[in-house]
Structure 1
Amino acid sequence: MTAHAIAEVARTRRLLVALDFDGTLAPLVDEPMTARALPEARTAVARLAALPDTVVAFVSGRSLADLRVIAEHDDASPVWLSGSHGAEHWRPGSEGASSLDAPAGAADLIADAEAAVADVAGAWIERKSFGFGLHTRLADDAAASAAARAVDALVAERAPGWRRRTGRDVVEFAWRHEGKDTAIAALRAETGATGVVFAGDDVTDEDALRSLGEGDLGVRVGDGETAAQVRVADPGALALLLDEIADAREAEVDAREA
């Protein structure tokens, strides 16, 4: 199944390889800003990005600024970026684009969420471009539940229209409603991709995986229910899969040029 799927997507005329970052290219870590892609994942990404008619993009829930830090991404990079679940963008040769149209009361709500969990051991609030995330990776179950209840109550009372997303030990709240499915659709249109590979590891990646169509390839990294055709165990296994896609794509390019 995997070999056939790789061979099929590698034959597409213009390929988009879109990848989540945390838990997909980089192992999950307790301190979010220390996350870095595995060396073998970086090598595979570089191979793919260097191929003709092949575009690589990182599609993350991270704010664009934070994504650029953890991805060690600079203005010379060929890798396209979609941050904040597709609400922020960076394209080669252009500046990042987003609309920081914060609604009234957003700053006060985020500050109150920080105060609500300040005394909850192992819980903290991450400010994001369009809202915030409650992290509970370092909290025990009781503390995590208490923090989530407190923040949920705040948002339900004062910002019921904000989008709520759950992930591994994180709950995110945003006044923008874009998802990774809309990010993939935008990238597909901008790049003119005729085939898409998307890989992700969490619940928030399933929107993108469900949006894929015939001729695309969805990859789930790790466990959990998924719409992906292929599952790999961890970021190291994904790096091997990306190398296989690069091998197949290189062979396809060589065959076209022969």
Structure 2
Amino acid sequence: MVQVSDVQKQVKPDIFNYASFLLENGYSYIPADFYQQKTENTAVRELQTTYDALNADPKGGGRYRAHSRYILAPNSDTLELDPDNGYFQSKEYNYDDGGTVRQFEKISDEFLLHPVTQYMINTNVEIARQTDLVDWEKEVIVGLHQIRYHVTPDAPSYSSPIWLHRDDEPLVFVHLFKLSEDAIGGDNLIAPSVKQIDKVLRLTNPLETIALGQKVFHAVTPVGTANEDGAHRDILLVTFSNR
């Protein structure tokens, strides 16, 4: 259980700028220092190590992942961890793996309850409240997807769906935790339609973030490497939707 109100006093005034840009343009870039704390360097390294323990995605793609979600009741400031861990995407939004309830391992308490993670979640709630992209008079689901894209020279890794799409969730935060120096790709594409790409953004620093709404299409390019020892891209997705 987490009290959103406990961190409201810490939230920076930039939330209004990021929320406004998101509403107008369908996406918003948020620099790493927005989420950084005094203990950021050590804390982020602690969180980065948890990606080593992720289990392989049953659907393949060189992905390793875990998933958990919080429930925020109407007009409440308390995030309740949901014991139900099923994850569903419609075929409309995920034409590769949508249409079924998928089960993943739950995110470890070490990662989920870490002060940096909790600060990120609650700060995202404050940004989300400024956008009204979800209905706060109804139950809000805050989903967390911890994902590693692991690659070798002969085995690239890719997202699902692999190309331009919109998500089921009205609002998604993509937080980078680590990108190997030898990784190729992993660039975020922003597009007003499936026939035109307006922006290519590359997250390289831990905690760099892109917030995405349904006003734009988006994708992340496949990740590869020439390094025989392999490489990886580690992210945390924080999603907002109504049940």
The TM-score bracket by the shorter chain reads: under 0.3
Q: Which has the larger radius of gyration?
A: 1
| Greater fraction of residues in strand | 2
TM-score by length of 1: 0.27
| Greater fraction of residues in helix | 1
